[in-house]
Structure 1
Amino acid sequence: MSTPVLIVDGKPLQTAATFPVINPATGRAFTACQLASLDDLETAVAAARRAFPGWSATPVDMRAAALAAIADAVEAEKEALGRLLSSEQGKPARTAAMGEMNAAIMWTRATAKLRPAMETIRDDESGTVQVHRLPLGVVGSITPWNHPVLIAVWHIMPALLAGNTVVIKPSSYTPLSTLRLVEIASAHLPPGVLNVVTGEGDMGRAICARPGIDKIVFTGSTPTGRSIMASGAANLKRLTLELGGNDAAIVLPDADVDAIAQKIFLKAFNNSGQTCAALKRLYVHESLHDALAERLADLARASVMGPGDDAASEYGPIQNKAQFDFVCSLAEDAIANGGRFLAGGAPLDRDGYFFPLSILVDVTDGIRVVDEEQFGPILPIIRYTDAEDALARANAGENGLGGSVWSSDIAAATALARRLVCGNVWVNDHSVISPDAPFGGAKQSGIGTEFGLHGLDEYMQLQTVRVPR
């Protein structure tokens, strides 16, 4: 596959500058990507604004047919696109990268089946009152580096189905797979409906401040989300912000260690822990703590970590040097505060940004690795004696994306899970999402909702229509 290019107004955009794209398995650049200028952003926004009247007037069934065609086209290229994704993100090509591609295809097809609702509030002798839903205009999408294709799909597809046009900026760490996704999709859309620009913080800030963009959808850190809110205030941009999570899980004393260990392990270390709704803090009753910790450590030690193009690799590196250094600092701080690693705990002595899957005990709240979102392959296990105390600690802090309770008593676990202050809760599972159910954060973990009809509403303006008899 040749290096993907920027698509603006339905055609390739040539830029004067480029920037290197690093393979995190080596720490070295493997190609260069086009770097957009602020003038290029102006061109993209102008193209999206020109395309909006025609696209918004296109019947929703035709817009849905375009999404279905995009899904088919992505499926035809998913092997090559998955390898490209693996090269820039680091995740194993044959498993995690292909899983992301399959999820992106499935999500696109599921989104194509949604239809905006029209509600009749009143229909009587005085007249009718109906609520219609109208597209907003131009949507600016800013996506992260952990799941670059799938999250781009989460942003783009409902925006397009709702009748909006889009300007997307992928992370500068992982731009290529998103650029290729846009190339593929643009062949099935009118010019200007979907445009892509690249850049770092200055480009993101320009998108957020640009008056010609009506809505921002962003997935990333809470500090950046706050900055986006401030930048978008000038024209009261609509916002959907899926921000940081430090998801807690509570294991009750009646849980079956044999039944839950493997699942907890997978939910903590999916994508080497680089998932917003991964299980990131594990509170375990003292009666089960040692047994579950040892079981998880056994699984960590047996896991194979390596480059994405190695068929034996089960887990890949941390995606970038800054995040790698942050994870290393959390491990060092934990050890300095009495923490003990049963598995891992120090970076691997090899090229690239490899930090092993790590199980940490003898830590508690107040230590950085517990209080901060590590977004990497360290799972701190915190011993507790009273479930109410564990619940209070799980609810402490500014994040509220997800949480879970693990128990053999489903009713008791569900009752406790409902008291977790977060947007998503699970019983005997974690981080399971689907395109038909809303997903969003509480507290500082975000604003707005994604997925399903609730998520589609985020891309539309309610219009109340009153008609007398």
Structure 2
Amino acid sequence: MVRVLHNVVAGASVASEGTLLDLVSPVTGEVYAQAPVSTDAEVDAAVAAAAAAFPAWKRATPAERQLALFRLADALEARAEEFADLESEDTGKPRATLVADEIVQSVDQLRFFAGAARELNGRAAAEYAEGFTSYVRREPIGVVAQVTPWNYPLNMAVWKIGPAIAAGNTVVLKPSETTPQTTVLLAEIAAEFLPPGVFNVVLGDRDTGRALVEHPTPQLVAITGSVRAGMQVAASAAQGLKRVHLELGGKAPAIVFADADLEAAASGIAEAAFFNAGQDCTAATRLLVHSSLHDAFVERLVAYVEQNVRVGAPDDPDAFFGPVNNPDQLARVEGFIDRLPAHAQVATGGTRVGGTGCFFAPTVVTGLRQDDELVQQEVFGPVLAVQSFETEEEALELANGVPYALAASVWTRDNGRSLRLSRDLDFGCVWINAHIPFVSDMPHGGFKHSGYGKDLSIYGFEDYTRLKHVMASLA
């Protein structure tokens, strides 16, 4: 019998009266579970539970919030294999590396935000006007509505709930309709450590997400998703003057200069381009390589990809990445290749792999121009676009000349060049001689069409707080 998932509201598993969606394996195309499309009334009930829980959770001490998140992190760590099984089933990711690649990071991120709960910073109390003492309170915002994507379901849930709960907010989160299992399990486990209503999960599709975002109670809406979805959320939130936290798409350049360590650059960029089937908003999606080494470097890169970057099923121990998430996403990736202009060439890949599932070969496309669709638009699949440049100034112009501004990398041994470019690249994160490593302590977020607001770090924590000035007369 196909199992059916439930919402988690006020710490309890609650069956939905909404229609059921099939969860379809991106590996086999078979239905393995069902999840509901929650009704507006069920969204309202989850928000009401969060609102009821907020006054007490707001007054909980930072130490109490910290302890709850530490216990949740410990429970996640203890059940890492179970989480990895569910994540692999939903996404098709290689099972052998999931614990190390993602579950361990989620545990660390929860522990970071547990520590952040006790770092409520503000101006020192002082007399800024004669006869008055002023101080600043950093307070939770209230009920927070959150929407997470399908590329890193557990990681993104942790990135969202960790800072929100640590700061004293309560949460209603809707995961992607195609990858809900680990979020539901996280909420079920959290019910052991958090008061009822602090962390609620409602399942559903875009309509469910819209009902949550448009609900009048939440005071902050946080979403990781597409630019289109972010714009819709921002427009909706504006009607109620809600705060918005957007982490959206990317089109990250990796800029390789002639003095770079070419072996390290080829392997690092290949892995950063194709990890998680390229379904990563910080993935290295554009290779900008100096004209003097363009042909030789592309040859080196392609050789590395063909020898080391293999697409395969979750149980394939040699697979570097698995399928894209769903048939619609596979069709989107194929469409970019089908529409390539005549001046572009596919150096490797460019085709679907196998007759079942949503597998697509790691693909490198050369000969591209700045106004080409593959340069300007996010694919969110295993496709790397290649361009060449002559000067540092041209590299900077090409890199910055897209709507997205999330991440970039520079590959060079020239310290002055790396500092100049890290200053002038218009991206929220710039790596030097690396691409894609994350740490819980540093902020993640972009500019322009990549959104605004920061995940991770103390800055991500502060995004879930508000400031209040208190001024007392000394008379």
The aligned counterpart of 2:419 is 414
The aligned counterpart of 1:63 is 65
Instruction: Give the counterpart letter for 2:312 in structure 1.
Output: G
Distance in 1 separating the partners of 2:123 and 2:463? 16
Distance in 2 separating the partners of 1:152 and 1:66? 16
Paired residue secondary structure (2:31): strand
* Runs of at least 5 residues in structure 1 that lack an aligned partner in the other structure: none
Report deviation, 1:324.
0.8
Report deviation, 1:397.
2.1
Paired residue secondary structure (1:418): helix
Aligned residues of 1:423 and 1:439 also touching (Cα < 8 A): yes
Report deviation, 1:98.
4.4
Aligned residues of 2:6 and 2:16 also touching (Cα < 8 A): no
Q: For 2:468, which of 455, 463, 466 is the aligned residue?
A: 463
The aligned counterpart of 1:315 is 321
Distance in 1 separating the partners of 2:76 and 2:452? 30
Aligned residues of 1:8 and 1:196 also touching (Cα < 8 A): yes
Tell me if 1:214 matches 2:219: yes
The aligned counterpart of 2:167 is 162
Paired residue secondary structure (2:410): strand
- 1:177-224: CA deviation from partner (whole Å, max 9, x where unpaired): 111111111221111111100111111111111001111110011111
Once the two structures are superposed, the pairs formed by residues 222-233 of structure 1 within 5 Å of their partners are 222-233=227-238
The aligned counterpart of 1:149 is 154
The aligned counterpart of 1:36 is 38
Instruction: Give the counterpart letter for 1:9 in structure 2.
Output: A
TM-score normalised by structure 1 residue count: 0.96
Tell me if 1:14 matches 2:19: no
Distance in 2 separating the partners of 1:411 and 1:388? 14
Distance 1:2 1:199, change over 3 A: closer
The aligned counterpart of 1:188 is 193
Distance in 1 separating the partners of 2:296 and 2:44? 58
Distance in 2 separating the partners of 1:394 and 1:118? 37
- 1:378-430: CA deviation from partner (whole Å, max 9, x where unpaired): 11111121221121111112111111211011221221221111111111112
Report deviation, 1:118.
3.2
Distance in 2 separating the partners of 1:31 and 1:298? 40
Distance in 2 separating the partners of 1:3 and 1:101? 24
* Runs of at least 5 residues in structure 2 that lack an aligned partner in the other structure: none
Tell me if 1:118 matches 2:122: yes
Paired residue secondary structure (2:355): coil
The aligned counterpart of 1:109 is 111
Q: For 1:305, which of 311, 314, 333 is the aligned residue?
A: 311
Distance in 2 separating the partners of 1:230 and 1:266? 36
Aligned residues of 2:3 and 2:34 also touching (Cα < 8 A): no
Report deviation, 1:263.
1.1
Deviates more, 1:150-159 or 1:399-408: 399-408
Paired residue secondary structure (1:140): strand
Deviates more, 1:304-313 or 1:205-214: 304-313
The aligned counterpart of 1:49 is 51
Tell me if 1:450 matches 2:450: no
Aligned residues of 1:5 and 1:180 also touching (Cα < 8 A): no
Distance 1:121 1:437, change over 3 A: farther
Aligned residues of 1:6 and 1:197 also touching (Cα < 8 A): yes
Aligned residues of 1:116 and 1:453 also touching (Cα < 8 A): no
Q: For 2:337, which of 323, 331, 338 is the aligned residue?
A: 331
Aligned residues of 1:414 and 1:427 also touching (Cα < 8 A): no
Deviates more, 1:459-468 or 1:44-53: 459-468
The aligned counterpart of 2:83 is 81
Distance in 2 separating the partners of 1:289 and 1:274? 26
Aligned residues of 1:85 and 1:97 also touching (Cα < 8 A): no
Paired residue secondary structure (2:424): coil
Once the two structures are superposed, the pairs formed by residues 229-248 of structure 1 within 5 Å of their partners are 229-248=234-253
Distance in 2 separating the partners of 1:251 and 1:354? 29
Distance in 2 separating the partners of 1:384 and 1:367? 16
Report deviation, 1:128.
2.4
Instruction: Give the counterpart letter for 2:288 in structure 1.
Output: Y
Report deviation, 1:350.
2.3
Report deviation, 1:146.
0.2
Aligned residues of 2:256 and 2:287 also touching (Cα < 8 A): yes
Distance 1:346 1:97, change over 3 A: farther
- 1:294-325: CA deviation from partner (whole Å, max 9, x where unpaired): 12111221222111133332210111111111
Distance in 2 separating the partners of 1:128 and 1:254? 58
Report deviation, 1:157.
0.9
Tell me if 1:340 matches 2:345: yes
Report deviation, 1:287.
1.2
Q: Paired residues, what number?
A: 468
Distance in 1 separating the partners of 2:42 and 2:264? 54
Q: For 2:408, which of 403, 406, 414 is the aligned residue?
A: 403
Distance in 2 separating the partners of 1:141 and 1:92? 27
Once the two structures are superposed, the pairs formed by residues 233-312 of structure 1 within 5 Å of their partners are 233-302=238-307, 303-312=309-318
- 1:205-260: CA deviation from partner (whole Å, max 9, x where unpaired): 11111001111110011111110011112221111100111111211121121232
Tell me if 1:5 matches 2:6: yes
Deviates more, 1:49-58 or 1:392-401: 392-401
Report deviation, 1:29.
1.7
Distance in 2 separating the partners of 1:2 and 1:19? 12
Aligned residues of 1:95 and 1:314 also touching (Cα < 8 A): no
Once the two structures are superposed, the pairs formed by residues 125-140 of structure 1 within 5 Å of their partners are 126-140=131-145
Distance in 2 separating the partners of 1:174 and 1:296? 32
| Identical pairs, percent | 37
Distance in 2 separating the partners of 1:416 and 1:462? 35
Aligned residues of 1:116 and 1:456 also touching (Cα < 8 A): no
Aligned residues of 2:272 and 2:436 also touching (Cα < 8 A): yes
Paired residue secondary structure (1:309): coil
